Structure 1
């Protein structure tokens, strides 16, 4: 099971914004460079993050992106759901009508339980949690380079 790049990049964008002082405005190119998110995808994903009220876009020469909500109030589960992605590990959990053996499959309950465990865990992790952890990596990295 792989996390789609759209979700990975979306979380990177949010963590970057959460790592900065509150109400910071950052250009997309800066986020792209700092978080290794291709600019083409950054702008596409940012539009989705704007639509879901995670971030705002400020136009103009001093414009860029800023968090719309407190990062401590944004769970990773909410980000995934906001980017229109399921956390179901198999398609039959989300689309049971498309499965020929739905309701008669010994695996369906197991995969449903896996999805619920994943959702439960990701609901407890916030963008701020990841930003705090990110800061500890940056601090450790700067210490090791001295």
Structure 2
């Protein structure tokens, strides 16, 4: 997993919405200096995950639905459908020819690093970043 551009944009979008007011996608993109097309894509992912909401109409826009003190970077990754694996050999169901006996030292180390990364993402709440 890399911290993808979409993940970076998702955190920036949440930052644009943190004041609790409804903000248009155009305003979010302008405020955070994001390309508008990707802003819409990320907004849709955040909507599907119910981290944000939207309202149509003259007074409409996007708004924050999640509690920033309980929402983590891991939640953002999950909302975007990101593959959080640092390498394919740590993915569930991956059949590595070098680890068929479960004795691959690299696999054990990659799994340790993956677990550590997941813990860090799960404990980093958005209120600490925004």
Partners of 1:43 and 1:97 in 2: CA distance? 33
TM-score (normalizing by structure 2): 0.87
Please say if residues 72 and 124 of structure 2, whose CA atoms lie closer than 8 Å, have aligned partners that are also in contact.
yes
* Cα distance, 1:72 vs structure 2: 1.3
* Cα distance, 1:96 vs structure 2: 4.5
What is the aligned partner in structure 2 of residue 14 from structure 1? 14
Please say if residues 93 and 112 of structure 1, whose CA atoms lie closer than 8 Å, have aligned partners that are also in contact.
yes
Partners of 1:76 and 1:12 in 2: CA distance? 12
Indicate which of 26, 35, 38 corresponds to 1:38: 35
* Cα distance, 1:86 vs structure 2: 2.7
User: Where does structure 1 lack aligned partners over 5 or more consecutive residues?
Assistant: 132-146
Partners of 1:50 and 1:13 in 2: CA distance? 12
What is the aligned partner in structure 2 of residue 117 from structure 1? 116
Count how many residue pairs are aligned between Structure 1 and Structure 2. 128
TM-score (normalizing by structure 1): 0.79
Question: What is the root-mean-square deviation in Å for CA atoms of aligned residues?
Answer: 1.7
Which has more helix, going by share of residues?
1
* Cα distance, 1:89 vs structure 2: 0.8
User: Where does structure 2 lack aligned partners over 5 or more consecutive residues?
Assistant: none
Structure 1 residues 94 and 17: alpha-carbon distance in aligned structure 2, compared to 1, 3 A threshold:
same
